[in-house]
Amino acid sequence: MALPLPPAQTEHLVFDRELIVRYDGNGPRYTSYPTADRFGPGFGPAEYRHVLQQRAPGTLAKPLSLYFHLPFCNTVCYYCACNKVITKDKSRADQYLDYLIREINLQADLLPKKGLVRQLHFGGGTPTFLSHEQLERLMAAIRQRFDLQQGGEFSIEIDPRKVGMDTVQLLAQLGFNRMSVGIQDFEPAVQEAVNRIQSYDETRVVIEAARMYGFKSVSVDLIYGLPKQTLDSIARTLELVIQLRPERISLYNYAHLPERFMPQRRINAAELPSPETKLDILQMAIARLEDAGYVFIGMDHFALPSDELTIAQRRGRLHRNFQGYSTHADCDLLAFGVSAIGKVGASYNQNTKELDDYYARLDAGDLPVVRGMHLGPDDLLRRAVIQALMCQFEVYFQPFEVGYMIDFPRYFEEEFGLLQQFIDDGLVEITDEAVRVLPRGRLLVRSVAMVFDRYLRTRQTQARYSKLI
């Protein structure tokens, strides 16, 4: 259930290097709770069909968020850990769309009525690998089976190396009003080391086109920890990004896992910055972005004070889902395409990660769901607590005690004990009414959230979590 939360505090975070080094480790990013590594094969097509059929009809139904995974890329970026298909053959996307539309129809047929869509996102891969005709075809299929809400949030991930003003104009005509632009780094030496050559000018043209054609918001993605990056080189990239003035900036930590992600084997590990240099970069980047007027939202996200993410956090309405931070907390997420993850009611579902298997399951007339889980009462409670920590940096007891009929300190007595070290180090405070992550602890909020993750204490996982910082 959704719980009302008081407005978050607005103090700046504090970069305490000694505590960051001491607490840094590995942990989930909490785009969901329980995390995706806890999904199991006991949740398949039959279970997902039942979940969709049980959605409340009429005015009681939650609005929908739709996610489409479009896995194709023209070239491989060596740092990439996404589920992708590298090809220059556009006809492969035609075949994929044939099956994607089958999946759209299978899911839509199970809904009690035509779903109202408040949020839509095209991710990948590179969604703009699709031709104009292919983009038009997919959007037509979506609109045929779903009602896209006037004023909804419709976003797409953009590779500016493959997109011109005409494509941005088409996207606006199709209804998109937000875009996420991949940059990663503007330094030529870094770009060459990761096989992503992208000029400032071609990036600027796309962002200016987005504003010309009425996009509400532009987000850019940066990565620190890439080969050949230095403190000075990142500073130059940040200055160029600040000139572009995107509404949102994501500053991701590169996780070098060549044993899991084959493209990363082409990266020369000897050229990666040291852990000390990465901390220098992060500290400088946070200071520079805050000086430029950006607000630290959480994790690796920054936004301008006027952006809807910042406003949602200020009002206690920020949410976190599989695409990161969001302003829409009350949506059921339907996911389409290979590897896509959805959330409907008290359940999660994920499609097969293999393209041939995805096609085979749809050829058999079945949904391509291969794993997921039903959430129990404790899962739902902890999900809400972790959401509050990740999004607002505080958890007020009273809404949870009313909504879940618990005595919060008693229910989480063990967790309160585990938080004592955080309290002693000035990262967290517990009062009679709330748990708060203090400014010194905000960069370590994932570590605080892990205390409330029952699965980390009771069940082993084979997952390799990313570094906390």
Residue 375 contacts residue 343 (beta carbons within 8 Å): no
Instruction: Determine if residue 152 is labeled as part of a ligand binding site.
Output: no
List b or e across 68-79, with b for residues whose CB sees 16 or more CB atoms inside 10 angstroms.
Answer: bbbbbbeeebbb
Domains (range + CATH), the chain: 1-34+376-459 (1.10.10.920)
> Which among 173, 159, 187, 166 has a CA at the least distance from the CA of 76?
159
Measuring CA to CA, how many Å separate 56 from each of 52, 115, 126, 161, 377?
9, 11, 34, 43, 19
Pairwise CA distance, residues 305 & 302, whole Å:
9
Instruction: Determine if residue 125 is labeled as part of a ligand binding site.
Output: yes
Looking at residue 8, its pLDDT comes to: 40
Instruction: Determine if residue 80 is labeled as part of a ligand binding site.
Output: yes
Pairwise CA distance, residues 55 & 242, whole Å:
44
Looking at residue 319, its pLDDT comes to: 87
Instruction: Determine if residue 82 is labeled as part of a ligand binding site.
Output: no
The β-bridge relationship of strands 64-70 and 115-124 is parallel
Instruction: Determine if residue 141 is labeled as part of a ligand binding site.
Output: no
Looking at residue 71, its pLDDT comes to: 95
Query: Global pTM?
Result: 0.93
Instruction: Determine if residue 348 is labeled as part of a ligand binding site.
Output: no
What letter would DSSP give residue 441?
G
Instruction: Determine if residue 341 is labeled as part of a ligand binding site.
Output: yes
Instruction: Determine if residue 417 is labeled as part of a ligand binding site.
Output: no
**Residue 191 main-chain phi, psi, to 5 deg:** -60, -40
Instruction: Determine if residue 73 is labeled as part of a ligand binding site.
Output: yes
The dihedral over CA atoms of 420, 426, 428, 430, expressed in degrees to the nearest 10, equals: 70
Measuring CA to CA, how many Å separate 454 from each of 226, 341, 383, 385?
33, 22, 10, 12
Instruction: Determine if residue 67 is labeled as part of a ligand binding site.
Output: yes
Looking at residue 463, its pLDDT comes to: 65
The low-confidence residues of the chain, meaning pLDDT below 50, are 1-10
Instruction: Determine if residue 20 is labeled as part of a ligand binding site.
Output: no
Q: Which residues have a Cβ under 8 Å from the Cβ of 420 and sit 6 or more positions away?
A: none
Pairwise CA distance, residues 34 & 380, whole Å:
9
Looking at residue 11, its pLDDT comes to: 64
> Which among 448, 316, 458 has a CA at the least distance from the CA of 30?
448
Instruction: Determine if residue 298 is labeled as part of a ligand binding site.
Output: no
Residue 356 contacts residue 432 (beta carbons within 8 Å): no
Instruction: Determine if residue 196 is labeled as part of a ligand binding site.
Output: yes
pLDDT tens-place string over residues 211-234: 999 999 999 999 999 999 999 999
Neighbours of 90 (CB within 10 A): 14
Q: Identify the bridge partners of residue 252 per DSSP, sorted by sequence position.
A: 223
> Which among 191, 208, 153 has a CA at the least distance from the CA of 175?
153
Instruction: Determine if residue 184 is labeled as part of a ligand binding site.
Output: yes
Instruction: Determine if residue 27 is labeled as part of a ligand binding site.
Output: no
